[in-house]
Homo-oligomer: A and B are copies of this chain.
Amino acid sequence: MSSRGEEQSFISDARRTQIIEATIVTLNEIGFVRASLAQIAKRAGISTALISYHFGDRMGLINRTIQTLIEDNASFVLERTKAGRNCRERLHLFIISSLEYQETYPERFVALVEIVFNARTPDNIPYYMLNDDNDAEPLLLELRTILREGQESGEFGDFDLMIMANTIQGAIGEHAAPGVATRMDAASYGAELVRIFDRAVSPLPARQP
């Protein structure tokens, strides 16, 4: 509670933020495999020992970084999504704001991918295999909620919730695929995704000629 303690905390927080930002830059420039503490420290302009001091060990830093990345992305998208007045609109907003985030902070998306697809727990479980259904992945949960409520309200037709949610999220991530982002900006890509999934989630109009 002492002002000294707060002051130190401020400094610590700033340092941690700085290091995490340097980590994101490093992941973009040279990838997870080569992102050693030395490389990160160089980009942060500090010593490697200071990273260990603030994050305990390397995986501590990685975990804090991915946590930051997920939270940032989630808060950005969730804030914009909740403005939707019905499920279809919320789905549209989800797609569009997700792409807007990717376009605005491309390096954050790359850093996220680098960690998720490279990091493993000490017992060798890949991070991309970790997310048990309830924990983490707030965006996937939100997407499922939108879809479920849409089905319950009759706005959407019949489909498997998890599959549709994963498919939509996967499609969003594909904007970063090689050749795609260079060919089409996030808004156009989003518009097309909206068209595609509008049809995909619709209540079976194809069978009612």
Taking beta carbons and an 8 Å cutoff, which residues of A are in contact with B?
Answer: 29-34, 113-114, 117-120, 124, 126, 128-133, 159-160, 162-164, 166-167, 170-171, 173-174, 177-180, 183-184, 189, 192-193, 195-200, 202, 204-206, 208-209
Contacts and interface: CB of A to CB of B under 8 A. Distances in A.
B167 A171 contact: yes
A192 B163 contact: yes
Contacts of A34: 120, 124
B30 A33 contact: no
A130 B167 contact: no
A192 B206 CA distance: 15
Contact of A171 (B166, B179, B183, B192): B166
Contact of A200 (B166, B189, B200): B200
A31 B126 contact: yes
Contacts of A126: 31
> Do most interface residues of chain A lie in helix, strand or loop, or is the interface mixed?
helix
Nearest to A171: B167
Given A31-B124, A195-B159, A200-B197, A178 B209 contact: no
Contact of A196 (B164, B180, B189, B198): B164
B178 A124 contact: no
Contacts of A197: 200
A149 to B, nearest CB: 19
Nearest to A204: B199
Contacts of A32: 33, 118
Contact of A179 (B119, B133, B160): B133
Most buried by B among A164, A177, A179, A202: A177
A67 B204 CA distance: 41
Given A31-B118, A120-B30, A159-B195, A132 B179 contact: yes
